[in-house]
Protein backbone atom coordinates (compact mmCIF):
# COMPACT_ATOMS: atom_id res chain seq x y z
CA UNK A 1 0.00 0.00 0.00
CA UNK A 2 1.28 3.47 -0.81
CA UNK A 3 0.18 6.78 0.72
CA UNK A 4 -2.60 7.31 -1.86
CA UNK A 5 -4.41 4.06 -1.11
CA UNK A 6 -7.16 3.61 1.44
CA UNK A 7 -7.62 0.27 3.17
CA UNK A 8 -11.31 -0.40 3.76
CA UNK A 9 -12.13 -2.94 6.47
CA UNK A 10 -14.86 -5.54 6.05
CA UNK A 11 -18.31 -4.37 7.11
CA UNK A 12 -21.24 -6.37 8.47
CA UNK A 13 -24.60 -4.74 9.21
CA UNK A 14 -28.17 -5.80 9.85
CA UNK A 15 -30.45 -4.39 7.15
CA UNK A 16 -33.74 -5.22 5.41
CA UNK A 17 -34.45 -8.12 7.75
CA UNK A 18 -31.09 -9.81 7.10
CA UNK A 19 -27.38 -9.07 7.05
CA UNK A 20 -25.05 -7.43 4.58
CA UNK A 21 -21.33 -8.22 4.53
CA UNK A 22 -18.58 -6.61 2.48
CA UNK A 23 -15.06 -7.88 1.99
CA UNK A 24 -12.01 -5.80 2.83
CA UNK A 25 -10.50 -3.96 -0.13
CA UNK A 26 -8.03 -1.31 -1.15
CA UNK A 27 -9.28 1.83 -2.85
CA UNK A 28 -6.58 3.46 -4.96
CA UNK A 29 -7.23 7.19 -4.61
CA UNK A 30 -5.00 8.24 -7.47
CA UNK A 31 -6.56 5.78 -9.93
CA UNK A 32 -10.01 6.00 -8.36
CA UNK A 33 -10.45 2.23 -8.37
CA UNK A 34 -11.33 -0.58 -6.02
CA UNK A 35 -13.15 -3.90 -6.03
CA UNK A 36 -14.96 -5.82 -3.32
CA UNK A 37 -17.75 -8.35 -2.81
CA UNK A 38 -21.08 -7.72 -1.12
CA UNK A 39 -22.97 -10.69 0.34
CA UNK A 40 -26.56 -10.32 1.48
CA UNK A 41 -28.17 -13.05 3.56
CA UNK A 42 -31.71 -13.41 4.85
CA UNK A 43 -32.97 -10.25 3.12
CA UNK A 44 -36.77 -9.95 3.44
CA UNK A 45 -38.33 -9.44 -0.02
CA UNK A 46 -41.38 -7.70 1.47
CA UNK A 47 -39.16 -5.14 3.20
CA UNK A 48 -37.23 -4.48 -0.02
CA UNK A 49 -40.40 -4.06 -2.07
CA UNK A 50 -41.93 -1.73 0.54
CA UNK A 51 -39.08 0.69 -0.23
CA UNK A 52 -40.63 1.19 -3.67
CA UNK A 53 -44.06 2.11 -2.32
CA UNK A 54 -47.43 0.54 -1.74
CA UNK A 55 -47.84 -0.70 -5.33
CA UNK A 56 -45.34 -3.51 -4.71
CA UNK A 57 -45.30 -6.21 -2.08
CA UNK A 58 -44.01 -9.69 -1.65
CA UNK A 59 -42.90 -12.47 0.62
CA UNK A 60 -39.75 -14.54 0.68
CA UNK A 61 -36.11 -14.39 1.65
CA UNK A 62 -33.20 -13.52 -0.62
CA UNK A 63 -29.46 -14.18 -0.77
CA UNK A 64 -27.22 -12.14 -3.02
CA UNK A 65 -23.59 -12.11 -4.16
CA UNK A 66 -22.56 -8.87 -5.82
CA UNK A 67 -18.99 -8.34 -7.04
CA UNK A 68 -18.60 -4.55 -7.05
CA UNK A 69 -16.03 -2.64 -9.11
CA UNK A 70 -15.52 1.04 -8.35
CA UNK A 71 -13.96 3.45 -10.81
CA UNK A 72 -13.52 7.20 -10.51
CA UNK A 73 -16.95 7.87 -12.01
CA UNK A 74 -18.94 4.65 -11.86
CA UNK A 75 -20.01 1.56 -10.00
CA UNK A 76 -20.23 -1.81 -11.77
CA UNK A 77 -21.61 -5.20 -10.82
CA UNK A 78 -20.10 -8.08 -12.78
CA UNK A 79 -21.80 -11.48 -12.65
CA UNK A 80 -23.82 -10.90 -9.51
CA UNK A 81 -26.40 -13.42 -8.37
CA UNK A 82 -29.65 -13.12 -6.47
CA UNK A 83 -31.68 -16.11 -5.34
CA UNK A 84 -34.64 -16.85 -3.15
CA UNK A 85 -33.95 -19.32 -0.36
CA UNK A 86 -37.48 -20.74 -0.58
CA UNK A 87 -40.94 -20.07 -1.99
CA UNK A 88 -42.61 -16.68 -1.99
CA UNK A 89 -44.98 -14.29 -3.72
CA UNK A 90 -44.51 -11.08 -5.72
CA UNK A 91 -47.52 -8.79 -6.17
CA UNK A 92 -47.70 -5.64 -8.29
CA UNK A 93 -50.83 -3.51 -7.93
CA UNK A 94 -53.18 -3.38 -10.91
CA UNK A 95 -52.89 0.41 -10.88
CA UNK A 96 -49.17 0.13 -11.66
CA UNK A 97 -49.50 -2.42 -14.46
CA UNK A 98 -52.21 -0.37 -16.20
CA UNK A 99 -50.04 2.74 -16.63
CA UNK A 100 -47.25 0.91 -18.48
CA UNK A 101 -47.69 1.23 -22.23
CA UNK A 102 -44.43 -0.33 -23.36
CA UNK A 103 -45.07 -3.51 -25.39
CA UNK A 104 -43.57 -6.53 -23.71
CA UNK A 105 -43.03 -4.79 -20.39
CA UNK A 106 -46.77 -4.46 -19.80
CA UNK A 107 -47.14 -8.21 -20.41
CA UNK A 108 -44.33 -9.04 -17.98
CA UNK A 109 -45.76 -6.78 -15.27
CA UNK A 110 -49.25 -8.28 -15.65
CA UNK A 111 -47.72 -11.69 -14.98
CA UNK A 112 -46.43 -10.28 -11.69
CA UNK A 113 -49.82 -9.06 -10.45
CA UNK A 114 -49.90 -12.17 -8.25
CA UNK A 115 -46.83 -14.29 -8.95
CA UNK A 116 -46.07 -17.26 -6.69
CA UNK A 117 -42.66 -18.85 -7.02
CA UNK A 118 -41.04 -21.95 -5.61
CA UNK A 119 -37.64 -21.03 -7.02
CA UNK A 120 -36.32 -17.64 -8.10
CA UNK A 121 -32.82 -16.79 -9.34
CA UNK A 122 -31.27 -13.92 -11.26
CA UNK A 123 -27.90 -13.13 -12.76
CA UNK A 124 -27.19 -9.41 -12.43
CA UNK A 125 -24.85 -7.06 -14.25
CA UNK A 126 -24.73 -3.28 -13.87
CA UNK A 127 -22.59 -1.49 -16.46
CA UNK A 128 -20.56 1.70 -16.27
CA UNK A 129 -23.22 3.30 -18.49
CA UNK A 130 -25.89 2.62 -15.87
CA UNK A 131 -27.53 -0.28 -17.71
CA UNK A 132 -28.96 -2.99 -15.47
CA UNK A 133 -29.23 -6.47 -16.96
CA UNK A 134 -31.05 -9.10 -14.91
CA UNK A 135 -31.56 -12.60 -16.32
CA UNK A 136 -34.36 -13.98 -14.14
CA UNK A 137 -35.37 -17.61 -14.01
pLDDT in tens, 37-77: 999 999 999 999 999 888 888 999 999 999 999 998 899 99
pLDDT in tens, 1-31: 556 899 999 999 999 999 999 999 999 999 8
Beta strands, E only, the chain: 5-8, 11-15, 18-22, 25-28, 34-44, 56-59, 61-71, 74-84, 88-92, 115-117, 121-126, 132-136
pTM greater than 0.85 (yes/no) = no
Amino acid sequence: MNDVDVEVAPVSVALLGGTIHTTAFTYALEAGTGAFDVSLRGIDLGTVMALEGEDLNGTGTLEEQLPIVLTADSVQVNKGTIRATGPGVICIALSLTRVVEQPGLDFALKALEDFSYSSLEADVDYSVKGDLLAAIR
